[in-house]
Chains A and B, each alone.
Chain A
Amino acid sequence: MRNLIALLAGLLFGLGLIVSGMANPAKVQGFLDLAGYWDPSLALVMAGAIGVATPLFWLARRRSQTVLTHEPMQLPANTTIDRKLLLGSAAFGIGWGLAGICPGPALVAIALGKHSVLPFLLAMLAGMLIHTRLQR
């Protein structure tokens, strides 16, 4: 059941990325380019997503078990704002700006057959592996 939920959630998430245009790096960079011709689309994607997700998270936070499957909730409890969070995010933001791609769109783009995203995707996965190695 959990696997089916994950599959359907992934499907919906992927469709959202494609429909919103966020699988296109040029559109993401168009948003990040405040000093050029600015494309505000990404802000509306975030607004649409947060507008729909906020009441659902509000409901989720009030439950100790998941709906349907009755498993324990595993939403994060971490509230620490530390160097790892801020510097990690800054490094992510630099990479995001350089290519206009973040993890979700990288996956969707390769599935759409956009082969030019491959160097980015492989480097991103390598970066995740490097992090795992450094953590132990």
Chain B
Amino acid sequence: MQIDWFHFTPWTALGGGALIGLSAGLFALLAGRIAGISGILGGLFTLDGWQSAQRWRLMFVLGMALAAGLYLLRFPSPDFALSASPVLSIVAGLLVGVGTRYAQGCTSGHGVCGLSRLSLRSLAAVLSFMGAGFITVFVLRHVLA
């Protein structure tokens, strides 16, 4: 294994991570809920008509969009490089959408919140998606490429 020192950004990673943890922790204390993005989005797509329980989910999503808007007011647009083609993106998106709903959580719900709650169920989910992610990128970059 070789560390990519050129792209490694330890301080912004720790600082940004701390902001994410602060958000998730405060949300648990103040709203009594898990700040899990797949659950929040999935809850908006229950198709059971508009319920008041969906309003806070919409507000959370709006807050995330607002973060992007405010960031762009002050700073240049951050780096963004997507190597997947549109077709591969669609396959990936479907897997992420269906998978996170079956697992009832993604990197935020199981990763950040679940591990912070010391949940074994979330640890199992994290090991499963991290393992699958490592294997997928290995196949993508070192077997198929």
Residues of A whose CB lies within 8 Å of any CB of B are 2-27, 29-30, 32-42, 44-57, 59-61, 63, 65-69, 71-76, 78-81, 84-104, 106-109, 111-114, 116-117, 119-133
For this complex, 28 residue pairs linking A to B, each with C-beta atoms less than 8 Å apart, are A12-B26, A12-B67, A13-B60, A13-B64, A14-B64, A16-B21, A20-B13, A20-B15, A26-B80, A29-B137, A39-B3, A40-B8, A41-B13, A46-B115, A51-B17, A55-B25, A56-B22, A88-B100, A91-B99, A98-B88, A98-B92, A104-B108, A113-B72, A116-B86, A119-B86, A124-B93, A131-B101, A132-B101
Given A11-B64, A103-B38, residue A56 in contact with residue B17 (CB < 8 A): no
Residues of B whose CB lies within 8 Å of any CB of A are 1-4, 7-10, 12-35, 37-38, 41-42, 45-47, 55-57, 59-72, 77-84, 86, 88-104, 106-108, 110-113, 115-121, 124-126, 128-138, 140-142
Find chain A residues with CB under 8 A from B124 CB: 81, 85-86, 89
Find chain A residues with CB under 8 A from B47 CB: 129, 132-133
- Whether A66 lies near B108 (C-beta < 8 A) is no
**Closest A residue to B80 using CB positions:** A114
- Whether B98 lies near A7 (C-beta < 8 A) is no
- Whether A34 lies near B138 (C-beta < 8 A) is yes
Among B60, B88, B97, the residue within 8 A (CB) of A128 is B97
- Whether A75 lies near B117 (C-beta < 8 A) is yes
Find chain B residues with CB under 8 A from A24 CB: 78-81
- In the assembly, what is the distance between CA of A95 and CA of B89, in Å? 8
**Closest A residue to B130 using CB positions:** A93
- In the assembly, what is the distance between CA of A125 and CA of B96, in Å? 9
Find chain B residues with CB under 8 A from A36 CB: 2, 4, 141-142
- Whether A119 lies near B132 (C-beta < 8 A) is no
- In the assembly, what is the distance between CA of A118 and CA of B64, in Å? 16
- Whether B112 lies near A46 (C-beta < 8 A) is yes
- In the assembly, what is the distance between CA of A32 and CA of B142, in Å? 12
- In the assembly, what is the distance between CA of A13 and CA of B71, in Å? 12
Given A9-B23, A129-B45, residue A89 in contact with residue B31 (CB < 8 A): no
CB distance from A132 to the nearest CB of B (A): 6
Find chain B residues with CB under 8 A from A55 CB: 25
- Whether B117 lies near A57 (C-beta < 8 A) is yes
**Closest B residue to A19 using CB positions:** B16
CB distance from A58 to the nearest CB of B (A): 9
